[in-house]
A and B are shown apart, each in its own frame.
Chain A
Amino acid sequence: MDWSWWPVTTQSFNILSDGFRRKASGTSFVDTVVAAEQQIMTAFRNKGLTIRKEQA
């Protein structure tokens, strides 16, 4: 399995679970994952790390 962990995993997991909790109020997991990607990129940049979105 091709998988690497990254330096803000705890925060990323919390970003996702905080989003998942909004499922009850109608936010789908798909929306949460899309939004989480942005928030995780922000978290990286706040630490001064460089991150970019994978080019399709």
Chain B
Amino acid sequence: MTLTYWSWLKNVQKVADIWNASHPNVQVETVWIPSGNRGGYSKLYAALAAGGGPDLAQVEMRTVPEFMLVNGLVDLSRYGARDYANRYDPALWSQVSFSGGVYGIPQDSGPMATFYRPDVLAKVGASAPATWEEWAAVGQELRSVDAYIDCFSLADTSYFVSFAAQAGARWLRPAEDGWVINMTDDSTLKVARFFDRAIDDGIVTTAYGPFTPGWYAAASSGEFASLTSGSWADALVQSVSGGAGKWRVAPMPIWDSTGYGSSYLGGSTAAVLANSKHPREALEFAVWMTSTQAGIDAEIANSGIGWSPVPGMIGAAREKPSDFSGGKTTTRTSSCQRVSRRTWTGLGGPSPRSPSTF
């Protein structure tokens, strides 16, 4: 049989080929689609509405419920997905689990960290801020040397959502009698007030969001001291012209008394679509790709995926030291790992994390 897999990961066929070599009876064919809201989803929606579509598709974490709304995803718990739950980061697994079902297999995620330029921060004698209060104070000083601590994207709300989640917000939850919304909790309002002030004080620029042409131009002239973003931003900040080797990574700033050590930005799943005739095999492929050493290494080497969804299996390539360590013994992986471990294993407990544990 042949499974089709629609995804916007680059060179994902090479990942599938590794699977195909060892699974002659279940061949996977990949088809590239534009990423998510840039056209990939509308293709998927149209295919689903026409009663067709691929067996598997890349669907972002946050879009899984949207596909559930059009009855587009297979509940994988019927095919034994729960047996694999223990392999995955519980925080990610919980984001694909709804009403007792499992609607996607976590593929990658973006634990957040702060990428910073020590040379720019040194102009005001600062180092990477550990708390958001420090971040604002450093940002204030940076204005005297014509630099910004960061930008604030008005167009891409996902940053704000991730900051609010870090502060402890939970905007919506499913309940027996329907959805329950709470966007005006103390954490969200605190974050909103914080960035209201940051913009009013001119600490951040809102003229452009991260990785837009304007941002790249400003970043290459050293206008930005830092960027707090998902782990996948490492390759992007390295691609700032003249920026190679100048960026370092640190844990993201924390909110003083509440919330978590870090947050997630982005993340996607491999989901099995409703019209698949071979959901069981599709599930097996998805699990192989996202949670085995071979699958993860192939995904990193060929597709440059974000952070692996499997704790303790970050991918061989990422266990080596990188530019972000500045040649010291700490590696970029260990700092991202520290962020994600801090965040995602510490979450089980009800007590908010304390800053000293960094």
Complex interface residues of chain A between 1 and 56 (CB less than 8 A to chain B): 1-10, 13-14, 16-17, 20-21, 23-24, 28-30, 32-34, 36-37, 40-41, 44, 47, 49-54
B206 at the interface (CB under 8 A from A): yes
Q: Out of A1, A5, A7, A28, which one reaches B263, CB within 8 Å?
A: A1
Least distance between B254 CB and chain A CB atoms (Å): 13
Contacts of B154 in A (CB 8 A): 17, 20-21, 23
Contacts of A21 in B (CB 8 A): 154-155
Contacts of B192 in A (CB 8 A): 28-30, 32-33
> Are A29 and B69 neighbours in the complex by a CB distance under 8 Å?
no
Contacts of A5 in B (CB 8 A): 61-65, 95, 172
> Are B179 and A44 neighbours in the complex by a CB distance under 8 Å?
yes
Least distance between B99 CB and chain A CB atoms (Å): 11
> Are B181 and A53 neighbours in the complex by a CB distance under 8 Å?
yes
B177 at the interface (CB under 8 A from A): yes
Distance of A32 Cα from B154 Cα, bound (Å): 12
Distance of A6 Cα from B174 Cα, bound (Å): 8
Interface residues of B, CB < 8 Å — how many? 49
Least distance between A42 CB and chain B CB atoms (Å): 11
> Are B155 and A17 neighbours in the complex by a CB distance under 8 Å?
yes
> Are A29 and B193 neighbours in the complex by a CB distance under 8 Å?
yes
> Are A53 and B343 neighbours in the complex by a CB distance under 8 Å?
no
Distance of A16 Cα from B206 Cα, bound (Å): 15
Contacts of B100 in A (CB 8 A): none
> Are A13 and B161 neighbours in the complex by a CB distance under 8 Å?
yes
Q: Report if A6-B206 is in contact (Cβ < 8 Å); known contacts: A30-B193, A44-B179, A53-B181.
A: no
Closest to B199 in A: A23
Distance of A9 Cα from B172 Cα, bound (Å): 10
> Are B68 and A30 neighbours in the complex by a CB distance under 8 Å?
no
Closest to A17 in B: B157
B2 at the interface (CB under 8 A from A): no
Contacts of B184 in A (CB 8 A): 33-34, 37
> Are A9 and B181 neighbours in the complex by a CB distance under 8 Å?
no
Least distance between B118 CB and chain A CB atoms (Å): 29
Distance of A32 Cα from B192 Cα, bound (Å): 9
> Are A8 and B188 neighbours in the complex by a CB distance under 8 Å?
no
> Are A9 and B63 neighbours in the complex by a CB distance under 8 Å?
yes
Enumerate the 7 nearest inter-chain pairs by beta-carbon distance, A residue then B residue, closest first.
A50-B178, A54-B182, A29-B192, A37-B183, A7-B69, A51-B179, A16-B157
Given contacts A34-B183, A44-B181, 5 further A-B contacts (CB under 8 A): A17-B154, A33-B188, A49-B178, A51-B180, A52-B181
